[in-house]
Amino acid sequence: MRKFVFSEDRVNREVIATLTTLSNGFVSIRGDPEFAESRHGTFVSGVYSFTPVFYREIANLPRAHALYLELDGIPLAPESVKYSLDTKGGFLETDSVLASPSGRVSYRSQRFVHKVLKGLVGLKAQIRSLDASGRLCIKAPIELDTVNPSVPPEISVKLYRVLSAERGDFPTVDVETADGRYRLRVVSIVRLRGGCGAGFYATGRHIGQAACLDIHPGDSISLERFAVFGLKPEDVARQASETARGFESLFEEHRACWEREWEEIDLRVEGDEEFAAALAFNTFHLLQLYNDEGKVFMLPARGLHGHGYRGHVFWDADIYALPFYLFFKPEAARKMLEYRCRTLSAAVENARRSGYEGAQYPWESADDGFEATPREVPLDLAGEKRVRIRTGELEHHITADVAYAVDLYYRFTKDEEFLERCGLKILVLTARFWASRARWDPARARFVIRNVIGPDEYHVGVDNNFYTNVMAKHNLELAVHYSAKAYSDPKLRERLSELRVTQEEISRWAEISSKLEIPCRDDGLCEQFEGYFELKDFRIEPGVVGEENLPREVISSVHRYQVIKQADVVAALFLLRDKFPAEILEKNYEYYLQRTTHASSLSLPMYAALALYLGRTEEGYSMLKKAALADLVDVYGNTREGFHVGSAGGVWMAILFGLLKIQAGKSLYYERGASLGRVTISFNIRYRGAKVRVEVQGLPHA
Amino acid sequence: MRKFVFSEDRVNREVIATLTTLSNGFVSIRGDPEFAESRHGTFVSGVYSFTPVFYREIANLPRAHALYLELDGIPLAPESVKYSLDTKGGFLETDSVLASPSGRVSYRSQRFVHKVLKGLVGLKAQIRSLDASGRLCIKAPIELDTVNPSVPPEISVKLYRVLSAERGDFPTVDVETADGRYRLRVVSIVRLRGGCGAGFYATGRHIGQAACLDIHPGDSISLERFAVFGLKPEDVARQASETARGFESLFEEHRACWEREWEEIDLRVEGDEEFAAALAFNTFHLLQLYNDEGKVFMLPARGLHGHGYRGHVFWDADIYALPFYLFFKPEAARKMLEYRCRTLSAAVENARRSGYEGAQYPWESADDGFEATPREVPLDLAGEKRVRIRTGELEHHITADVAYAVDLYYRFTKDEEFLERCGLKILVLTARFWASRARWDPARARFVIRNVIGPDEYHVGVDNNFYTNVMAKHNLELAVHYSAKAYSDPKLRERLSELRVTQEEISRWAEISSKLEIPCRDDGLCEQFEGYFELKDFRIEPGVVGEENLPREVISSVHRYQVIKQADVVAALFLLRDKFPAEILEKNYEYYLQRTTHASSLSLPMYAALALYLGRTEEGYSMLKKAALADLVDVYGNTREGFHVGSAGGVWMAILFGLLKIQAGKSLYYERGASLGRVTISFNIRYRGAKVRVEVQGLPHA
């Protein structure tokens, strides 16, 4: 369907490498070319280890897809590299000219990370001599020296150790994460088409195969390389044996699976080619992050696309990305929540450590669910400059966000099994957290939540943050609601009694939620937190994204201003849009939009969602499109560190809930008159086992 | 004179690499073979940068001496490696067989770090095909990916950044330390004998030259590789141009310089071949650590031989190594003290930070003289296990050790210029430190020094440590003595007045020194610190070195025992042997020897010194020999981390001051009847411009 072509002439290789990352939700490799050295090895979903500063992070595992070319002993260097990501077939093609003093070769490759054989990376290279003559040697190593970059950037950490590196039938390496929690096997297989065999070699850092042959102008060589990764040796052996089928057979199977996936969704966008491309691009990356064989779906904020945020999971998953999966891959949505189930006991421990009750989900979550937010980030090697980070300590709304996601999932799926096994427990334990977190303020006769960070992280340690309080209230209400429901269901009632939920506790939740401070003025304007309206005012030009254009005095003491980083009041209002009258949504949208820098990629999708919900089509679409292009045009300047899952997912959230106003019912309800101006969108979604075609009809062209 | 042959069959490569390190005191490279990957690049004396945990450390700079060989694209791997360190000529030879599926080659090389051209490393390789046929490619890169290992060992730090890597006439790289304080240029030059030229290549990590040629059984190839390092481009250019002379000419010049050096010293040892070898080996390494072109001589505890103690300077330099240089290279001894001069203002700042006056030398000193001892060393990546290190805070005797060295140097050299320019200032400022450090204890009417660590680091935070107090008293006495002397010399008097030294202050020093607590009992036994004699007693078998054989309950709570790690009372008694009657020396030597584990390499040389001084020839020689073999037989199990400068120097200290009882006078006095049993030693030393032949006549064989 769509090819995305990138060239190093215009875009930095590290940015392209994120954009052209291939993954099947288990194994992930960035798109940097196999013929060049790279710091980036392989990510395997869920394989984390302890690390300085960031608690635990996803390990940069051995790189097993390189193909190093040398002509007469001189490494060939690229003169030009063109990348073409085929999202329809889920593969990456490169087309390059490589040069050395003995001449130039053209180098073309195709690469996939197999959609079904989850451990398998396949690569086929076609090398043709343009004017090169000489001895061409090709090396295909498993590189055992990949490390995780740390902070400051001079520091790196090796998160695995090599247990064995052996010849076997093919070079085979067993590694173990530095903490000993995970073991991984890597096998590398090279097949030269109709040529001589490849020889085995090993140095301290590399183990692999190499082959040489003489080339002359016009000669062509074709080469297949496979790498198989797996946590279980038997999985690796099985998939390695599949490679005997050869690249073409595996590649065709892989592409066919992708094509089926796309047919299933049948996404069509017309009227704005750029937006259509961006939406397809984001959809491709969201789809490839899901491993349907996994028991849980752990979705890092930057995907499996880079070291940004260290593979940690944020509310980006539960709030921004979940709607996409809920409608396109309901199983994936369930497995996202299974991840929160699996880490529920860690959340209980997090609450205990903070001095609260119930379950407190960590602001940043790694594989084990303990708080993984860095508390302090060193900025220099001298140990003099450090940034203190307080989100792990204070950004508590994540706990309500998880509860929100549980309810959303249940309402649309009616997945009773999940509710009974885990969902109810999450709702009860998170409500308990808020019940212990909120404090009674006798002076105003309200419950208050003091000292938090809301979604807008410019203002730290504030009291009664609107988003936090509204979501906490909702969390308590959900616990009340589902507990009531549980009383009429024998199995759920059993769960309640296991959790020792009493009528008194339920009443307490109801009381706290009804008396929790929600600071809105009589005119309908809600205050982001206590004292916000007393801060200095500053308006931001419409359409400006990021902090670059702010006056220095504003950005250097931004906490003294009403300037905010991202949707906060607006986020709560959108998420709980049924609970507020339209005038309040309108009023706050207008007020806060003018004061938001959108310096977080989570901002535009939320504003777009509310704008579309309010029928502000033009500005909503403008923000939606900008959000959809976040990575393709590197809006936030950090695409090199990974894909923006929250932004990509948030665009779909805005379409599904903002524009289409999808609601659960016996069958799916959505607003048929929704408009995106001239843009037409249609796609299939899944709703309780059925396929539903959803359409937004574009206006006719003028 | 002597060749030291090592084989990987018997000794670990990392240990051999320390033992075969080549240095000229400016550039240093470890002995690991050039045909294998290595973590070790190049040390350049004085080039340090900020680093986590260790404050500043010597940078592991680019490796520019590798020669990677590939046959038909397969890296050749060693089947056997033999190393031969020629200490007479100051070079390293290797003799190896390298193998690949296409056959085996013999590989022989010679390597030097030029004794005169301080930036120049030279290497000649001779490769002969045994039964190999195929295309042999040779790569000679400058490797730009060397990093410093940190703690825990999974962490590494890149202490330099590449400013430029260019082709030029030869591959040329400019790097800068991460802190921006030092810039270094590296040039790499390859010359193939009578063969085709080498081509230039660059990858992200390597820049260098490569060449290929066909080989058949019996064919030989000879290759020369040079690397030039320098802080100034003009020095690099000059030395690079010298390489046009070719390897043989430079190599001959280098060897001739070393031969002259050895002729000058003319060290002869007979009667014990093993001891003779060890003494020559240590002498070679001590000699090659001195750069006669340097303005200061900064001598790290582990030489320029490894990352042990991170290139930090300890009292090992001032107390243990200085005597060797004082008599063999008086200029080197002066430059060691110049290092303490250059860092005197940092020592003043160290004192201020600790709340004291005057100058406090740091326990561990890097290039800038600030306290560089780690306070806490992380043991795991999870940040859970840490070791607290208190020596930087409490091991204060280093300040008196520096003062002791200044006096020793002056007494033997009468270097008035040094005394006036710097020596007097060190003596005054260090005395001021002790005057502020000692406290009046009215109960016993003595000055006391509380809360220190003495040389024996098993006992932490003790009061009135014998070594510390005796050396502090000496330091104060030296200040009194030299101040008195200064009054009769116009120039020195001017220094005194610049330092605002008054008669009152001098009287104060005299008073403190005369009333400083020196805890010796009436029977002549001195207590290592207050309360030491009340600790549990435990005797160690004679001759046992290290902690391995101690009962677990002793080593796990060693601070509760009289067991000590190294000479402490005995060190003070030996250093100030003229101030104590022989009976006290005897009594304390016997008492403490039985309680010492010698787990520090500084212990045996000091006990040997006092034993020999006391005429206990047999046991003294036994300890002397063991100390001399410290690295050659890896007594302390950490030779891989570097050469033990203190041990190697300490053996000479024991010979010069313990055995020979050298004393300064109009001409040099030494005890002619000194005996080492059957061992005969003779050598030339320098004394006030004259060459003096010193002899220890061995007993005739039975």
* A409-465: pLDDT as tens digits: 999 999 999 999 999 999 999 999 999 999 999 999 999 999 999 999 999 999 999
Q: In this structure, how many other beta carbons lie within 10 angstroms of the beta carbon of residue A16?
A: 25
pLDDT-derived band at B571 (thresholds 50, 70, 90) equals: very high
pLDDT-derived band at B193 (thresholds 50, 70, 90) equals: low
pLDDT-derived band at A194 (thresholds 50, 70, 90) equals: low
| List of residues 6+ apart from B80 with CB closer than 8 A | B7, B8, B9, B96, B97
Interface residues on B facing A, Cβ-Cβ cutoff 8 A: 36-37, 49-52, 70, 72-75, 77, 100-101, 135, 137-139, 147, 150, 154-159, 178-179, 199-205, 210-212, 378, 380-383
Residues of chain B with C-beta less than 8 angstroms from the C-beta of A63: none
C-beta separation of B17 from B31 below 8 A: yes
Task: Please name the residue of chain B whose CA is at the shortest distance from the CA of residue A37.
Answer: B204
Residues of chain A with C-beta less than 8 angstroms from the C-beta of B158: 154-156
Q: In this structure, how many other beta carbons lie within 10 angstroms of the beta carbon of residue A386?
A: 13
Q: Residue B700 has what pLDDT? A: 77
Exposure on the CB side of residue A422, measured as CA atoms within 13 A:
20
Q: How far, in Å, CA of A452 to CA of A475, rounded?
A: 17
Q: Residue B542 has what pLDDT? A: 87
Mean pLDDT across chain B, nearest whole number?
Answer: 96
Task: Please name the residue of chain A whose CA is at the shortest distance from the CA of residue B77.
Answer: A203
| List of residues 6+ apart from B492 with CB closer than 8 A | B419, B420, B424, B482, B485, B486
Task: Tell me the shortest Cα–Cα distance from A425 to chain B, in angstroms.
Answer: 30
Q: How far, in Å, CA of B609 to CA of B615, rounded?
A: 10
| List of residues 6+ apart from B159 with CB closer than 8 A | A154, A381, B49, B51, B57, B59, B60, B147, B148, B177, B178
Number of residues in chain A:
702
C-beta separation of B560 from B535 below 8 A: yes
Tell me whether residues B52 and A210 touch, CB distance under 8 A.
Answer: no
Tell me whether residues B199 and A137 touch, CB distance under 8 A.
Answer: no
Tell me whether residues B203 and A36 touch, CB distance under 8 A.
Answer: yes
The region of weakest confidence among A150-164, A175-189, A190-204, B23-37 is A190-204
Task: Please name the residue of chain B whose CA is at the shortest distance from the CA of residue A211.
Answer: B73
Q: Residue A702 has what pLDDT? A: 56
3-state class (DSSP) for residue B328: helix
Residues of B marked active site are found at: 457
Residue of B182, B200, B212, B371 to mutate, testing the A interface (most A Cβ within 10 Å of its Cβ): B212
| List of residues 6+ apart from A270 with CB closer than 8 A | A276, A679, A680, A698
pLDDT tens sequence across B101-155: 889 999 999 999 999 999 999 999 999 999 999 999 999 999 999 999 999 999 9
Which of A72, A135, A158 has the CB atom closest to B154's CB atom? Answer: A158
C-beta separation of B221 from B215 below 8 A: yes
Q: Residue B372 has what pLDDT? A: 98
Give which of A37, A39, A31, A27 is closest to A66, Cα–Cα. Answer: A37
Q: Residue B169 has what pLDDT? A: 87
Tell me whether residues B378 and A50 touch, CB distance under 8 A.
Answer: no
CATH architecture of B3-263: Distorted Sandwich (2.70)
Q: In this structure, how many other beta carbons lie within 10 angstroms of the beta carbon of residue A241?
A: 12
Interface residues on A facing B, Cβ-Cβ cutoff 8 A: 36-37, 49-52, 70, 72-75, 77, 100-101, 135, 137-139, 147, 150, 154-159, 178-179, 199-205, 210-212, 378, 380-383
pLDDT tens sequence across B64-81: 999 999 999 999 999 999
Q: Residue B168 has what pLDDT? A: 83
Tell me whether residues A150 and B150 touch, CB distance under 8 A.
Answer: no
pLDDT-derived band at B289 (thresholds 50, 70, 90) equals: very high
Mean pLDDT across chain A, nearest whole number?
Answer: 96
Tell me whether residues A203 and B37 touch, CB distance under 8 A.
Answer: yes
What angle in degrees, to the nearest 10, is found between the helix axes of B344-354 and B424-437?
10
Task: Tell me the shortest Cα–Cα distance from B177 to chain A, in angstroms.
Answer: 11
Q: Look up residue A73 and give its DSSP letter.
A: T
User: Is the pLDDT assigned to residue A1 strictly greater than 60?
Assistant: no
Q: How far, in Å, CA of A605 to CA of A563, rounded?
A: 18
pLDDT tens sequence across A174-183: 999 999 999 9
pLDDT-derived band at B1 (thresholds 50, 70, 90) equals: low
pLDDT-derived band at A198 (thresholds 50, 70, 90) equals: confident
For B190, phi then psi, to 5°, come to -120, 135
Residue boundaries of the structural domains of chain B: 3-263, 270-342+558-702
Q: How far, in Å, CA of B489 to CA of B484, rounded?
A: 9
pLDDT-derived band at B230 (thresholds 50, 70, 90) equals: very high
